[in-house]
Structure 1
Amino acid sequence: MTKQREKSRQTRRELMDAAMALFADKGFGETSVAEITARAGYAKGSFYRHFDGKDRLFLDILERKLAEYRAQRDRSIEEAADLEEALRVIWDFLATMVADRNWAKVFLEFTVHAARDEGLREELGATRYRLSEDLFARLIRPFVPEGYPARKLGALNTALFEGFMVHNALESGVLDLADVREAAVALSRTLGAAGHEEET
């Protein structure tokens, strides 16, 4: 790798790290590009050489964070013996995101922000940025019989998780992630059994 390319990668990393620290402190909406570049020690021009805006920067941070989480999840899910174990692996993976409370809040804020922009909403819906119903279905398919509604299970688990993220951000303290995980596993078993009966 050339020195120039390594320098470019370092600049990009430092801008992303500065942005994430500011997003955690102030929120996505309240953080400006000028603040990000000042914190990282770069001029605004450096920012725009690497990102075409704050939205793109956030999506790149999200992709980097999820790649780290998914590497561990994919190793663990290969060792699962059945659907219940596979679901627990996935929920353990989700728990790592919830444990980072600042990140969870920033992710929710960005999700609401993206909902108002059709192009951004579609991009955020891509599987590399979230645990979509299609990705979830792909993860559990090796553990379920033919006819099991894997995509519907993916949508159900995704909705439960994203609903819990909102609940958790409001800090009501009524539910914890273990409660939601156990409900998701039970609902998944019920839904799968009903879907399998319809097929037979």
Structure 2
Amino acid sequence: MATKQQEKSQQTMQELMASAIELFGTKGFANTSVAEITDHAGYAKGSFYRHWNSKDELFLQIVEQKFKQYRATRHDRVQSAADLEEAMNIIWDFLETILSDRNWSAIFLEFTVYSATSEPLRKLMNKSDYRLSNHVFAELMRKHVTSDFPAEKIGALNTALFEGYLIQRALNSEVLSLKDVREAAIALAVKNGTRRD
């Protein structure tokens, strides 16, 4: 059973995370300081550093929590899909959930690009807890792939299309719609991942 101090600490952490998400959404990750996060939440900077060593660490925890929420609704549905096409549609329903929160998807894109500038951060971002990694995708899709095409490659192609779409949307490019990207990703997966007799 949690003590009152542990409950207060958890509440402080959640309030700081909520403050960070709000500020990252309005100002961007790079333009938001730890001091602004703590001021906005009504805490001293020391409260922040009791929970995280850096803004990067805070953001990784936010990503991990967000993806756990998204994944909880996706996993069982994918496992019970009848075939690869149905599984891919479930995956894209999941990805569209991420896209529906425009602020969150923009923040995630900014942080993904930012993480490319740091080797340790880049390694962390490639872990399954922080993105739709090739490994996680392969495990979700493996039972639905009936060809010799590696499920990891289907995952990598799908992730590239999704993240490419995030960039296109951030740049306000209207050449491709989400529907276009979704249909292309599913068609590519089905073409490569389905055995032809």
For 1:26-80, what per-residue CA distance to the aligned partner results, in whole angstroms no more than 9, with x for missing partners? 0000000000000111100010000001000000011111111111111321331
Does residue 164 of the first structure (1) align with residue 172 of the second (2)?
no
**1:28-177 maps to which residues of 2 (within 5 A)?**
28-145=29-146, 147-177=148-178
User: How many correspondences in the alignment?
Assistant: 196
Contact 2:147-2:192 within 8 A present in 1 as well: no
Cα distance in structure 1, aligned partners of 2:42 and 2:189: 49
Q: TM-score, normalised by structure 2?
A: 0.95
Percent of matched pairs sharing the same residue = 57
TM-score, L = length of structure 1: 0.94
Counterpart of 1:192?
193
- Counterpart CA distance in 2 for 1:145 and 1:191 is 9
CA distance in 2, matches of 1:137, 1:16: 31
Does the 8 Å contact 2:84/2:145 carry over to 1? yes
Deviation, structure 1 residue 99? 1.1
Give unmatched runs, 5+ long, in structure 2. Answer: none
For residues 157 and 79 of structure 2, the distance between their equivalents in structure 1, rounded to whole angstroms, comes to 22
User: Unpaired segments of 5 or more residues in structure 1?
Assistant: none
- CA–CA distance in 1 between the matches of 2:54 and 2:19? 15
CA-atom RMSD, angstroms?
A: 1.4
Query: Partner of 1:128: helix, strand, or coil?
Result: helix
Counterpart residue identity of residue 56, structure 2: D
- Tell me which amino acid in the other structure corresponds to 1:65: K
- Structure 2 distance, partners of 1:192, 1:80, is 15
Runs of 4 or more, structure 1, over 6 Å off, are none
Instruction: Give yes or no for contact 2:147–2:193 (8 Å, CA) kept in 1.
Output: no
Q: Distance in 2 between the 1:114 and 1:78 partners?
A: 31
Aligned residue identity for 1:124: M
Q: Is the 8 A contact 1:137 1:150 kept in 2?
A: yes
| Secondary structure, counterpart of 1:30 in structure 2 | coil
Distance apart, 1:146 and its partner CA: 6.0
Between the aligned partners of 2:92 and 2:169, the Cα distance in structure 1 is: 15
Q: CA offsets per residue over residues 57-111 of structure 1, 9 Å max, x none?
A: 0000111111111111113213311110000000110001111111111111111
